[in-house]
Structure 1
Amino acid sequence: MIRWTESGKLWPFPIDNEHGMTEEADVPFEDHVFLDHLIEDDHAFPNGPVRQFMELVCIGLSKNPYISVERKHACIEWYRDYFTQKKSFIEAAVEN
């Protein structure tokens, strides 16, 4: 059993629910939950349907404990790039 523990097949005692989460050990809880500041005052997410969608994306990401903060920020950045590229289509759809 000692060999299994050293090779990672068994958890070390005492049991720690956060065993193996070393990359997120120094990241505070608030950074995982409060993501709204990433879409505040941003020209890519104006008021309207896109803004409401991005607020829901932030809520969904804040409730996901399995994704790192870095990946959450990258996801929001991907949406920012996407909506910036599709800005003309979105404006045309909102006008009609």
Structure 2
Amino acid sequence: MPHTDLNGLKLRSVMSGNTVHIFRKHEDFQIRVKSSPKGHEEVNQRLINYIAMEVSMHYLNRKTNHIADESNENKIRNFVTTVLRLEDKLKSLDGSRI
């Protein structure tokens, strides 16, 4: 069973101690993974952005934890979701002329 938030939405990652665990089976991760011609999964810029957003979210939440409450955590998570959705919509521009 996947990890979920209070609204029942699947989490993309969780932080345990000083480690951020990224859930590879989450749809948002899967759509960013590309396979090489030999069938190996490869890191690409979209996946790097995704991982950076997830890690940043957890560390920002921890850094502001002394003033944070649950709604602040949800605001940060919603911000990350919005950025990832926008990135997904803009991916068709990759390689196009300016």
More strand by share: 2
Q: Give 1 or 2 for the bigger CA radius of gyration.
A: 1
More helix by share: 1
Relative to the length of structure 1, the TM-score reads: 0.46
Relative to the length of structure 2, the TM-score reads: 0.46
Larger RCO of the pair (alpha carbons < 8 Å, separation 6+)? 1
